[in-house]
Structure 1
Amino acid sequence: MRLMALPAAAVLVALCAAPASAQPTTTPVPGPRDPNQPPVSAGPAIQAHAIGDAGTGLAVVRIAPDSTPTNTILPGFGERLPKQSAAEIGVGLASAQANTEAFLTYERAVAQASPMGFAVQGRAPQTPGTLVQTASPDNAAPITGGLTPPATPLDTLLKVGLLNGSVHARWNDELGPCVQPLADAKTSVATLSVLNAIPTLPSSPDLTGLLTGDTPKLDAAAKQSLIDNVKQLSAPLSQLGGLLSGTPDSGANGSLLSLPETLSAHSTVELVDLPGSANKAVRSTSTLQAASVRLLAGTAAEIRVDVVSQPTLVALSTGDKATSGITYTAPVLRVTQGGKELGTLDAANPKLDVPIGVAPGQKLPLVGDLAQGLPLLDIGVLRLQIAQLNQKDMVIDGPLQQGGATIKGYMLGATARLLDLQLLPTDALGLPNLPSALAQVSLGEQIVRAAAPNGGVVCAPVQAPPGGGGQPAPPRKDQPLAYTNAAYKTIPIFWTGTALLLIGVVVVAALPTRRRPVKTVRPTEPPAE
């Protein structure tokens, strides 16, 4: 038995040491299930390097903006980040993206038209009903169709009419992004009504119980005046005293902002000619088409906002900071009420405030110039704002994507808005725990980004080296998986030990049993007498 134990121990040690002594391997990238399909992360080599993004949203609603702390896994880091809105919902999102450095081939050109997206306290689930087209492979024709908004917890704040979308993404197997169009997305909406209620305001017409606490901004007389004026309104403050309750005579449903005509968004990423060079520049463009906007439609306080000049936001990257830049055509909006002009919003005058107040004997709040000559208690402000252009840029000296080739170039981006409508409370409202902004509607949000290497994007096929070898080597098959933890060693050790234990049992059972000799005990003779 001792003679067999030594070889068995040697076998056990050798099997246990095999994984440790093996050469470290890397888990291979899985290939396609169809052998005729190209690998998801491989393809013909190209010389073009480019990144571009363009996104346009028809409307974005934010409830209690800048009121919710940002969650993060890093302790204490959330306090350094800007706060988020309690709830957000976007309508008619058109996104076009191009990225030659993407690991997956079908992510190198992406066009997407989404009917709606929403987030509650920073958490944004996926929404169905989206049109998406990706490349490669190339797509000869775009995808078009209607977009059906899904049901969301925020449906009471938003009513959306018929949405249409169109997406087109392309890719050239030899020249990569050097194709027209590269990524193109469009969305349009026929009718839209936003903020049919203000959830951050009380839903009760009696504010007595809400103003009994500590309200240092109001004295006793101001508190009583606010309570009496709100009680006489036809609806609670959550419906702006009746301005959002609808008007049966005109057929209006009641909303803070509405679109009586079509609003469309267009996002595109393309390569354009670079003057004095055979190479290309990356251009990302976001455009909006709108005719007019209505505030408090169907009421005596209705405000009309006509879009005189359409906004366009363009990011152009040539790879050189001196010749790259952001081009923004700011919108021009004319604001009128009852045929009287309240003001014009443009690059020189980007902001206009319209007061909202209550007066004794009035069943509806008074907005704008309707309160002339009446003792008015201002409870809120409608702030209209445009432009808000923000730009960022950076010099590239490294890979555009993790694991990619080192590239020197230039990247820039910008964001802008057609119209930003905020409902702000005043000190006269005096309710405790109100956010700085009760609600915010951003109509026509735009974002663009473009990046290119120095000298521009090279649109030429890869030259094969002398003697062939132009095609990349095919991936190896049957590659072993990498050892990532000790679990890979546990199973061999377990089965080896089990086998040796069984062998030992069999060997012990098979050996004959050696009987010990019986020792004869002779009786002792008694001593002679």
Structure 2
Amino acid sequence: MRLMALPAAAVLVALCAAPALAQPTTTPVPGPRDPNQPPVSAGPPVTAHAVGDAGTGLAVVRLAPESVPTDTILPGFSEQLPKQSAAEVGVGLASAQANSEAFLTYERAVAQASPLGFAVRGRAPQTPGTLVQTASPDNAAPVTGGLTPPQTPLDALLKVGLLNGSAHARWHDELGPCVAPLADAKTSVASLSVLNAIPTLPGSTDLTGMLTQDTPKLDAAGKQALIDGLKGLGAPLSRLGGLLSGSPDTGATGSLLSLPDTLSARSTVELVDLPGSANKAVKSTSTLQAASVRLLAGTPMEVRIDVVSQPTLTALSTGDQATSHVTYTAPVLRVSQGGRELGVLDAANPKLDVPIGLPATGDLPVVGALAERKLDIGVLRLQIAQLNEKSMVLDGPLQQGGPVIKGFMLGATARLLDLQLLPTDALGLPNLPSALAQVSLGEQIVRAAAPNGGVVCAPAQTPPGGGGQAAPPGGRGGQPLAYTNAAYKTVPIFWTGTFLLLLGVVVVAAMPPARTRLRNATPSGDMSSSEPTDDSRVP
């Protein structure tokens, strides 16, 4: 056994040292399984580095905004993140993206038109019925068609008419993003009604025993007057006392916000000329086209909002912080009720509050100043713009493992109209969120990034020896795989140890015990054994 142990130990040491002594190699990128399929990420290198995206939503509905804590796997980190809405629904989403640093070739340009998107407590499932086009390879024509919203658990919140969409994504084999259009997505909706009910409000007209005891602005007599006034309404608070019940004369269903005319959105990412240079700048644009909006349409309290000026949000990155900028054309909205102007929303006056109160007579709540109000129970807050800008100097790879790029990135968000339904202090219901519901009409997001000096639109120079050629199908290229994990070392150790263990078991099992060998070495009947007998032990 000692003679076998030394060679076995030498073999074990040699197998363990083999990975450490091997020449380090890089694992090649795997190629497609089908030889006729274009490689996942291959082709000549592209010198045009550009990243941009633009997103536009025709309408986004949020129930109980900022009321649900954000889940995270990091302990104690959820308190530092902003809270999410209990539920969110987006209608008519148009998204355009361009990313020259994307590893997958078909993700370098993506255009998407989606009829609907929703999230419940921060969880967003995949939505079917979406038009998507990706590049590369290049697409000569866009994909177009009608978008059918799928059935969702939140259908009671909105009703969507005919939706149309278009998506176009392009990519040049040699020049990369230096092609027009680069990414372009459009959506349009013929009609839309949002918030046909308010699930965060009670569905009963009798609030006896439901009001909290610490309502600051009401005494016992005031609380009783509130309860009696709510009992006189034609419908519960979940339908705003009858304002969301529709019109019995015309048969129209009610809604808090509706669009009688076509609303369209467009998101584009493109490269534009850079003054004084042969290079290009990255430009991401989000535009909206709307005519008018109705609040509480079909009721005597209807509020009309006319869009006088259309909003446009643009992010332009030249790679230099001094010349890159965000441009926003703020919308101008005229708010009127019954032919009387309530106010104008523009950059100088971005907010307008319209109160909702119990009527002195009648069975419908009073909105605005059309009639006398006894007690305000809610507020419709209209707000525009809310432009938020962010920027960052680039000094590193835009994608993990990509080349180091020095440049500048900037982005911005804005909204055409933000409608919030807020409760007043008089409505002292328990566990009532600060905002009952929120509708964002025309939500816009843009971002653009470019290297210093702009985007170079020129074919890449292939180094001598064909260094820019794509890897052959299979992706290996005749190179050995790299040791990227400690598991490579444990495999030879495991099998070597197993082999030595089995060898030792066989050797031990094959050799007889020592006592048996000794007895076999003494002739039968010979009493001259080295081991003393019982008689010899007696003195």
Same fold (TM over 0.5): yes
Cα distance in 1, alignment partners of residues 491 and 89 from structure 2: 51
> For residue 202 of structure 1, what is the aligned residue in structure 2?
202
For normalisation by structure 2, the TM-score amounts to 0.90
Could you tell me how far apart the structure 2 residues matched to 1:447 and 1:456 are? 22
Please, which moves more after superposition, 156-165 or 167-176?
156-165
Code of the aligned partner of 1:416: A
Q: Which residue of 2 aligns with 1:242?
A: 242
CA–CA distance in 2 between the matches of 1:281 and 1:510?
Answer: 81
SS at match of 1:449: strand
Distance (Å, rounded) in 2 between the aligned partners of 1:350 and 1:63: 22
| Aligned with 2:392 (options 374, 391, 394) | 394
Structure 2 counterparts to residues 379-390 of structure 1, below 5 A: 379-390=377-388
The yes-or-no answer on 1:520 pairing with 2:503 is no
Which range moved further: 6-15 or 78-87?
A: 6-15
Q: 8 Å contact 1:161–1:189 — kept in the other structure? A: yes
Superposed CA deviations along residues 103-142 of structure 1, whole A, max 9, x for unmatched, are: 2221111111111111122222221221111111111111
- Distance of aligned partners of 1:282 and 1:375 in 2 relative to their CA distance in 1, 3 Å threshold: closer
Q: Which amino acid aligns with 2:61?
A: V
SS in 2 for 1:222: helix
Query: Equivalent residue of 1:79, what SS?
Result: helix
Map of 2:222 onto structure 1: 222
Residues 172 and 201 of structure 1: CA distance in aligned 2, closer, same or farther (over 3 Å)? same
Q: Distance in 2 between matches of 1:331 and 1:498?
A: 75
What is the letter of the counterpart of residue 471 of structure 1? G
- Aligned equivalents of 1:323 and 1:75: distance in 2? 42
Give 2:375's aligned residue. Answer: 377
Q: 1:399 offset after TM fit, Å?
A: 2.4
Corresponding residue of 1:482: 483
Aligned pairs (5 A) from 1:103-502 = 103-211=103-211, 213-371=213-371, 374-465=372-463, 469=466, 471-472=468-469, 474=471, 476-477=477-478, 479-480=480-481, 482-486=483-487, 488-500=488-500, 502=502
TM value normalised by structure 1: 0.92
Distance 1:510 1:381 in 2: 93
- Aligned equivalents of 2:133, 2:315: Cα separation in 1: 23
Taking the aligned partners of 1:451 and 1:144, their CA distance within structure 2 comes to 29
Distance 2:200 2:413 in 1: 28
CA distance in 1, matches of 2:237, 2:440: 22
- Counterpart CA distance in 2 for 1:510 and 1:228 is 100
Measured in 1, the distance between the counterparts of 2:347 and 2:42 equals 47
Aligned-pair CA distance for 1:14: 3.5
Preserved CA contact (<8 Å) 2:366 2:373:
no
Deviation of 1:477 (Å): 3.7
Distance in 2 separating the partners of 1:104 and 1:497: 42
Give 1:405 shift.
Answer: 2.1
Q: Secondary structure at the match of 2:78?
A: helix
**2:426 is matched by which residue type in structure 1?**
A
1:86 aligned partner, one-letter code:
A
Offset of residue 37 of structure 1: 3.5
Residues 19, 483 of structure 2: 8 Å contact kept = no
Partner Cα separation in structure 1 for residue 154 and residue 353 of structure 2: 27
Give the Cα–Cα distance (whole angstroms) in 1 for the partners of residues 121 and 448 of structure 2: 30
CA contact (8 A) 2:115 2:149 kept: yes
Q: Tell me if structure 1 keeps the 8 A contact 2:315–2:410.
A: yes
Following the alignment from structure 1 to structure 2, what is the Cα–Cα distance between the partners of residues 191 and 444?
Answer: 14
For 1:309 and 1:25, the matched residues in 2 are separated by: 60
8 Å CA contact retained: 1:215, 1:432: no
Give a deviation string over 1:389-420, Cα, whole Å, max 9, x none.
11122222332223222222222211111111
Alpha-carbon distance between aligned partners in 2 of 1:161 and 1:11, rounded to the nearest angstrom: 75
Task: Give the conservation status (yes or no) of the 8 Å contact 1:463–1:470.
Answer: no
Unmatched tracts of structure 2, length 5 or more: none
Q: Which moved more, 1:358-367 or 1:8-17?
A: 8-17
SS at match of 1:297: coil
Residue 428 of structure 1 aligns to a residue whose secondary structure is coil
Instruction: Give deviations 1:58-115, integer Å, cap 9, x for gaps.
Output: 0000111121222223333222222221111111110001111112221111111111
Q: Distance in 2 between matches of 1:142 and 1:262?
A: 22
C-alpha separation in 2, matches of 1:500 and 1:162: 74
Mapped to 2, the partners of 1:164 and 1:347 lie a distance apart of: 31
Cα distance in 2 between the residues matched to 1:479 and 1:112: 40
Contact kept? 2:211, 2:427, Cα under 8 Å: no
Helix, strand or coil for the counterpart of 1:48?
A: coil
RMSD across aligned positions (CA): 2.5
Deviation of 1:47 (Å): 1.6
